Each structure stands twice: as structure tokens, then as C-alpha cells.
Structure 1
Amino acid sequence: MKKKLLAECLGTFTLVFAGTGAIVINAASHGSITHMGVALTFGLVVLAMVHTFGDVSGAHLNPAVTLAFAAARRFSWHEVPGYLAAQIVGACTASFLLHTLFPQDATLGATLPAGSDSQSFIMELVLTSILMLTILSVSTGAKEKGITAAITIGGVIALEALFAGPVSGASMNPARSLAPALVSGHLSHLWLYLIAPTLGALLAVPLCLCVRDSTCCSPPPAS
């Protein structure tokens, strides 16, 4: 279990450090990375972390994903608190490091709505639902492992960040939004990015059952 928690911590650290780091560096370098570059960074870092840690912890890297796996009966509820804590610690460590490296940045890549809260709430709910439905379809039990799963999940994240990033920030991940918000002090919209992705991921569970048989959301067979 210690190795699983360390893998989740390291994986989420890398996700937040690279993803929000791309946003911070893009701002510091007057747009040299570009929006497309930021979106691809998020997709590529998830691809890399799923391939790196998928066979250890499942590479959830996301509290909403962990909760949805548990709701789908693919993951034990008693392991959920440890995973959530590891993900939050990894994310916050990354944001603190970015704050040390770029103290002039005001938001540290925090996700903020471009329009109304309701618009971003619905966007985050739908985006995370699509992402989690994909994860449930390509994962084995509660483990996202193998190059196919890594490419598919990373590709969906990059795709969603490309078209939805300018609207809601395309977080899809409470830990990714929590860490920069806490460190930068931009907490006014945080509730949106904690609740909407979680609800979206949970919504993917019954959607999976609608398009697949009951084994979609059931404990994996004993090996």
C-alpha cells in the first residue's frame, strides 16, 4: 500500500508540476507555449504517468477518478482516503514548488471560469463524465495500465483541454484545481472545480452500465 500511495503522490505531483507549470511558464514567456502547447502538456504528462505508474497504483492521479472507481465497485472504499490524501499532497507540493520558482505568478495555473459559474460547472461535469467513461472502458479493474490506455486517456485529456480550456480551464480533476487555488489564495471559484468533476466522474458509472454489460461496474475476477 505504501508503494501505491507513493506512486499516486509522485504521479499527481508530476501532473500538476508539468500541467500548471506550462500555464505559468506560458504567461511568464508571453505566450511562447500557446494554448495548444498547454493542452498537449496535460495530455502528454497523463500519458506518461499512466504508463509509468499504472501497474503500481492504477495511476488515478485524480480524486474524482478514485471515487468513481470505488462507486463502480472496482476499487475498495477503505483505500479511498489514502489515495485522496496522496493525490492532494502531491498536487500541493507541485504548486508550492512552482510558487518558489515563479513567485511573481498570481494564480499558479489555477482554474478559473471565463464566463459564468453555471457555464463552467456544466462544462466540467460533462468533460469529466466523458473522461471517466473512457477510463472505465480502457482500464482493467481500477488500474489504468498499458500503452493503449495511456494513449487513449492522455488523448482525451488533451482533446478536452484544447476545446474547453478557454471556457472552464478543463480541470476535470479536483486535486489539480485545489493545489494552485490554495497556494495562490484564489478560492472564490474552487467549489465549482471540486464538485463538478466529482459529480461528472460518478455520472460515468451508470452511463457505463447503459452501454456495457454489468461486468463494467463490478469487482474484477479474483486472480
Structure 2
Amino acid sequence: MLLVIFGPGSVVAALLVGGGRLDYAGVGIIALSFAVVVAVVIYAFGSTSGAHINPAVTIALAVGRRFPWREVVPYLVAQLAGAVIGGLFIVAMFGRRATDLGGVGMTALQPGVGYGQGILIEAFGTFLLLLTIMALAVDRRAPQGWAGLMIGLAVAGEVFVLGPLTGGSINPARTFGPYVANSMFGGDTPWWQFGVYVVGPIAGAAVAVVLYDLVARPVSEVPATAEQGAAGEITGEQLPRPREAATGAEPSAGPPGRPAGHARSGIFGRHGPPGQGR
């Protein structure tokens, strides 16, 4: 809900201030608004649910076995419902101008961008998002406290480049909410393009998760069973050094007062990062 209010809502606001026209400076303001709301939501709700706010993130992390499949459907329902409520709030705030100016901030393929091209563009944008999530929120080697800010900036970065082409959705729920709200209040909604904003983000997200595990976090360096999360420096039980592995010596214990094997929680608390099962 918050993502849609302050993301697509910023599109309506920019068009209102610009008299119905949106220049590249306006795109920059929209990207900044997306970055801020994504960061705030992650810091606020990351420790509660992982703060996915994106069906592509949920599905991709389930594909990568970092999120339980049994929880995917409830998460998707919550994400889509929140997006629709956010779209309705935009209409409540701006009135008819919400549908007249940019269709409640909805995304659409711009002239010259084909259906297949749109899928590829959205896949690239979501690949960047999941690469950031994997590196800053999932990988146990991540520095503590940076996940929310950098994930927000990753969203801003893709809006800078992809916004003028597809709207830079990288999130099926972000597109779904404004589409539903716009349709409910008589706006012209390009539902035939909705597949672009489902197939592209899910494909790009899944590829990012798989490639990250193969390239940046190979099992030979960090075992698949190792604890994950934005835990800052690794504390507690460390990976065996070559000498220890060869001699069978016990790994080093953690700091005084902390038992071996205990890792300091990051911003995602006991529930782990986005996509980590309970």
C-alpha cells in the first residue's frame, strides 16, 4: 500500500505540477520517491515479514529455496491487496485528476517499445533489484544496516533508465494496483500489457537468485547450510580454515559471552531476510 501511494502517487503529483507533462527531471523525483518508500518499508517491516512488497521477490526467493512455498500464496494476496488499496488512496487524494493524469500512476509501454522488448527491459530491472537483495539482505557476509538504503537506491537506479521505456515497474503488484484503481474509476487501462509486468519481473528475479548462488556465493566458499542474513561481520562459528579442515580441529569460538554458532541478527531479525523461511 505504501509503495503504491508514494511510488505511482509521485507520478500523478509530478504530472499535476508539470501541467500534464513529465520531463526527465520529473522522472528523477519519482525515482527518489520510490527509493525512499522502499527503504522505509524495509527498515520498518523487515524484521516482521521480510518486507517483500513485490511478488517477483517472493517467487524468486522461493525458487532459490530461501522462502517456503507454503507462504507464497498468502504473501501474493497481501501484496496485491495492498497495491489495490494504495491505488484507491491515490484516487481519494487526487480525485478525478488521478485517472486523468497518468491513470493513477500506472505503467505502460511507451511508443516504440514492443511486448517482447518490454519483458526483457523489466527482466533486466528486476535482475538488478534481486542482485542487490541477495548481496545486501540475504548473504551472511553483507555489511549490517545497508540493505534498506541500497535496495531503495537500486529501485531508483532502474527507474532512471527504464522509466521512460516501460515505466520501470519491476513489480507485478506495483502495476496491478494502479491498473485496478484506474479501471474502477473509468480510466483507460492497457490490461493487455499486464503480462509484460508479470513475466519480465519474475523471470529476471529468478535468474538473479540462481546466478548469485553460482557466481557470488558458491557453496565451495559458503556452504548452503550456512546462516544467511544481514549480520554484519560473521560472529560465532566461523568457516573452517584449511588447516582446521585438514586436522579436524574445532572451529574458533565466537566472542566472549556469545556461544559458538550464534550469529548477530541483522535488520531482518528472527524472521531472517526477505525470502528466508522461519
Structure having the higher Rg: 2
CA deviation vs aligned residue, 1:148-182 (integer Å, no higher than 9, x gap): 00111011111111121111111110000011112
Contact 1:209 1:216 (C-alpha < 8 Å) held by counterparts: no
Provide the residue aligned with 2:30 in structure 1.
38
The question of 1:99 aligning with 2:91 is answered yes
Distance in 2, matches of 1:130 and 1:219, equals 25
CA deviation vs aligned residue, 1:83-132 (integer Å, no higher than 9, x gap): 11111111100101112222233310111011222222111011101211
Provide the residue aligned with 1:199 in structure 2.
203
CA deviation vs aligned residue, 1:12-62 (integer Å, no higher than 9, x gap): x11110001100111122259811100111011101111111111111110
Provide the residue aligned with 1:147 in structure 2.
145
Provide the residue aligned with 1:49 in structure 2.
41
Q: Aligned match of 1:167 in 165, 168, 176?
A: 165
Provide the residue aligned with 2:107 in structure 1.
111
The question of 1:25 aligning with 2:13 is answered yes
The question of 1:85 aligning with 2:77 is answered yes
TM-score norm. by structure 2 comes to: 0.70
112-121 or 31-40: which moved more?
Answer: 31-40
- In 2 relative to 1, CA 43–152 (structure 1 residues): closer, same or farther, beyond 3 Å? same
- In 2 relative to 1, CA 87–127 (structure 1 residues): closer, same or farther, beyond 3 Å? same
- In 2 relative to 1, CA 220–45 (structure 1 residues): closer, same or farther, beyond 3 Å? farther
Higher helix residue share:
1
Look up the equivalent residue of 1:173 and give its one-letter code. N
| Percent of aligned pairs sharing the same letter | 33
Which structure 2 residue ranges, 5 or more long, are not aligned?
Answer: 184-188, 228-260, 263-278
- In 2 relative to 1, CA 117–96 (structure 1 residues): closer, same or farther, beyond 3 Å? same
Deviation at 1:188? Answer: 2.4
- In 2 relative to 1, CA 47–209 (structure 1 residues): closer, same or farther, beyond 3 Å? same
- In 2 relative to 1, CA 133–96 (structure 1 residues): closer, same or farther, beyond 3 Å? same
164-173 or 205-214: which moved more?
Answer: 205-214
- In 2 relative to 1, CA 27–201 (structure 1 residues): closer, same or farther, beyond 3 Å? same
Provide the residue aligned with 1:130 in structure 2.
128
Provide the residue aligned with 2:65 in structure 1.
73
Provide the residue aligned with 1:10 in structure 2.
none
CA RMSD after TM alignment: 2.4
Distance in 1, matches of 2:85 and 2:36, equals 20
Which structure 1 residue ranges, 5 or more long, are not aligned?
Answer: 1-12
Contact 1:174 1:194 (C-alpha < 8 Å) held by counterparts: yes
Provide the residue aligned with 1:15 in structure 2.
3
Aligned with 2:35: secondary structure? helix
Aligned with 1:105: secondary structure? helix
Provide the residue aligned with 1:179 in structure 2.
177
How many matched pairs? 210
Look up the equivalent residue of 2:155 and give its one-letter code. I
Look up the equivalent residue of 2:114 and give its one-letter code. S
